[in-house]
Structure 1
Amino acid sequence: MSSTTSPFPDRIELTGEGLVLRDWTEGDVAAMPDLFDHPDTAYWTPLVSPFDEAAARARLDKARQLRAQGTTIMLAITTDGGAPLGEVMLRRAPEGTELGYAVGPAHRGQALAARAVRVMAAYAFEELDVESVILELEAENSASVAVATATGFSLLDVPLIEGEEKGRPYVLQTWGLNRP
């Protein structure tokens, strides 16, 4: 963590858009496999697969470690502060302040990702004082492209990001949203 990067608060709860974005808790570990152990999630995200209770515990531990390091915030997406429906993430990266998300299969089609992205972007602009946020996604991931366009992001004219995850090559586009 650079000396110019302020630490994140120990606890975060963000509200807006009919959502409560809150810290993951020990009580969420049992619910996380239902959210993240799905072929779409395995394909489009770096989350491990299969995503079982051990993976959930590791994810909770990683979320706490990355928060303490001041690099990443991972919050549960909820409508009322209760049961998690997915996750929204903010990561301080060399290429910019990146947002990411995953919504459980049973909870898709409710604009949860778009709403969570808007709330997290507002947090980045208002509380972290960033000038812009980015999304990195594959052009073929129509659901994520829909989230990007619905939330006002624009495709940036920057080099594509090529890599391999879980034995599958990928090419990511970078989408950006500037502070209002």
Structure 2
Amino acid sequence: MTELFDDSEIAHWTPLVSPFDLAAARAYLATARQARVDGLRIQLAITPDGRLPLGEVLIIHRNADDRTASLGYSVGAAHRGRRLGSRALTVMTEYPHHTMDLPRVTPSIEAENGARAAVARAVGCRLTDEPPILTVDQGRSLALRTWAHDRP
């Protein structure tokens, strides 16, 4: 995990801490495990062979009764440009619709993050007219635009 997530691009565009060292990886895994137990997240490794993780893809709920889901993903720097993010996000877009019976999934993306917006478009998401979600992460003010994928 440290090799994948200790990356300036990931630190800039995601809430992962930087540096992402062994202590950060352990804390991240503990949080991921607890969120899974609480029914708040499903986090999976992006892997072409079932062994070597090249990134992660996740479904996030605000609370256990949430009938919507946010989507996220990260791909390690050495593995970008291979459509791993869009392929993983396609699976994680279909899963909540068909298995969890959720009508909508929503990636939230900064307007300046053209690469992530391109991936959202590639999996069939559309930019909504919802106002940006304003938040602060790691001392940086963010305006996240909501993209949506509605159940076919």
TM range, smaller chain: over 0.9
Partner SS for 1:144:
helix
Letter of the structure 2 residue corresponding to residue 171 of structure 1: A
Partner SS for 1:80:
coil
Equivalent position to 2:47, from 78, 102, 123:
78
Letter of the structure 2 residue corresponding to residue 39 of structure 1: S
1:95 deviates by 8.5
Deviation readout 1:141-171 (Å, 9 max, x if unpaired): 1110111111110001111111111111111
Equivalent position to 1:146, from 99, 118, 132:
118
State how 1:55-94 maps to structure 2 within 5 Å.
55-93=24-62
Q: Alignment RMSD, CA only? A: 1.1
Q: How many residues align?
A: 149
Equivalent position to 1:129, from 93, 96, 101:
101
Distance 2:139 2:78 in 1: 27
1:52 deviates by 0.5
Equivalent position to 1:106, from 61, 78, 91:
78
Identity across the alignment (%): 50
The TM-score with structure 1 as length reference comes to 0.80
Gaps of 5+ in 1: 1-31
